[in-house]
Structure 1
Amino acid sequence: MPVHDAQRDVTEVSSSADDFKKVFTWRGVDATRLEQVRVQVTGLRVKAFGQVIGAATDTHEAFSATYDLLTNDAGVTRRLSVHLARAGGETQISITRDGENNWLVQTPQGTERSDFGGAQDVDLVLSPFFNALPIRRLDLHRNPTQIQVPVVYLYLPEGSVAPATVSYDSSADGIAVQSPVGSSSITTDDSGFVRDYEGLAERI
């Protein structure tokens, strides 16, 4: 099976006829964690407001991350705003994409402008929701494909942002995914939103 370029013209990808408003909830299977998001979907356009709440573990402190996401009509991320709360204080993170395919990232550490390797999606570690962005945009839940997707990757609870690549290998049995934090498999519903993310979270 050939590996496809994630930057192919979106007109080559089947568009979704989805048009709905829903609330999705996931619970962690590897740790005490919840994510809930309200999504408004019009075709490939997604507007989402959600929150990830994680208890302290051996690898990270307790945190809460509230996010507000908007894509354009092709499913490409336009902006992501995150309010991150930890014991030591609160942090605001803003990630926006302009019409020239450049990203502007604003964190307490400063401002960064980059094309992030041609990324069209953002990804939030520990969140099953954000996988739906490339899956829906590239129709991976309907068409078996191997693809490498450059993303703007936001780590929690550190609040750091870095370029990354997420690999997807979709088939009738689900989608194998390899991210900066490991390899796993996911299943989706008919609209491309994650049901179960093996080892991470399950939708309830």
Structure 2
Amino acid sequence: MSTSRVLTWDVPASRGCESAWAELDGDVLRARGRAVGTVPEPYWITYELQTSDGWVTRRLRVTAETAARSRTLDLRHDGRGGWTADGERLPAFEGALDCDLGLCPLTNTMPVLRHALHRAAGERRLLTAWVSVPDLTVRPSRQTYTHLARTSGGGGRVRFASGTFRSDLDFDADGFVVDYPGLATRIAG
């Protein structure tokens, strides 16, 4: 069964906002989105995200524009554990299944859905390919997702941790972020 959603977040962390058109088809996610922010400098972001079965990132294509330049990143996962950025192999990311676009609440969806952490107890430690915004630098990021509670409407609360950063995120029943304290809050509509 396919579910299409248009999601918009207020993103105080960037003093901006983001909208995404997302489609869940079985255990595959396809999305395209746009974000505008003013921190750390004014920028526009456009992205396309594709996953393979199991919500494993297959490709993230991002364009960032600032007053000084425009940059594009083509981040790919080969389905066997290997990653490339603009065709260059990234050996430090072996075993990572997910990308994580900085300041983007949508990319928290894949690990939460894969492990049903918005619905059931559990904790997962994982390596992600984290993309900083707006410079589009790719870095390895160790992250932990921990189910905390079920919430009304079939969603759940999940603790996200990376390094010393921690935040308790609320997800809806489809696995999309509703509230990410300190980063983003979904705008109703």
Structure 1 window deviating more from structure 2 (177-186 vs 141-150): it is 177-186
Alignment pair present for 1:138 and 2:121: no
| Matching residue's letter, 2:34 | Q
Q: Deviations over 1:133-157 (max 9, x none)?
A: 1101111111111221210000011
In structure 2, relative to structure 1, the CA distance for the partners of 1:31 and 1:70 (3 Å cut) is closer
| Matching residue's letter, 1:76 | V
| Matching residue's letter, 1:194 | V
Alignment pair present for 1:169 and 2:146: yes
In the TM superposition, residue 72 of structure 1 has moved relative to its aligned partner by: 0.8
Q: Distance in 2 between matches of 1:47 and 1:34?
A: 20
Alignment pair present for 1:95 and 2:75: yes
In the TM superposition, residue 77 of structure 1 has moved relative to its aligned partner by: 0.7
Structure 1 residue runs without a partner (length 5+): 1-17
In structure 2, relative to structure 1, the CA distance for the partners of 1:19 and 1:92 (3 Å cut) is same
Alignment pair present for 1:157 and 2:143: no
In the TM superposition, residue 48 of structure 1 has moved relative to its aligned partner by: 0.3
Q: Distance in 1 between matches of 2:49 and 2:33?
A: 9
| Matching residue's letter, 1:53 | V
In the TM superposition, residue 111 of structure 1 has moved relative to its aligned partner by: 2.6
TM-score, normalised relative to structure 2: 0.89
> Match of 1:74, SS?
helix
Q: Deviations over 1:66-103 (max 9, x none)?
A: 10010012211111100110111100100011143210
> Match of 1:170, SS?
strand
Q: Distance in 2 between matches of 1:160 and 1:63?
A: 15
> Percent of aligned pairs with the same residue?
31
In the TM superposition, residue 112 of structure 1 has moved relative to its aligned partner by: 3.4
Alignment RMSD, CA only? 1.7
Alignment pair present for 1:69 and 2:49: yes
In structure 2, relative to structure 1, the CA distance for the partners of 1:51 and 1:141 (3 Å cut) is same
Structure 1 window deviating more from structure 2 (112-121 vs 161-170): it is 112-121
Structure 2 matches for 1:1-204, cutoff 5 A? 19-55=2-38, 57=39, 60-106=40-86, 111-114=88-91, 116-172=93-149, 174-179=157-162, 182-204=165-187
Asked if the contact 1:101/1:115 (under 8 Å) is kept, the reply is: no
Q: Distance in 2 between matches of 1:84 and 1:42?
A: 28
Structure 2 residue runs without a partner (length 5+): 151-156
Q: Distance in 2 between matches of 1:83 and 1:133?
A: 21
Q: Distance in 2 between matches of 1:105 and 1:33?
A: 26
Over 3 Å off, 4+ runs: none
> Match of 1:134, SS?
helix
Q: Which has the higher contact order (CA 8 A, sep 6+)?
A: 1
* Equivalences, count: 181
1:3 aligns with none
Q: Distance in 2 between matches of 1:123 and 1:96?
A: 12
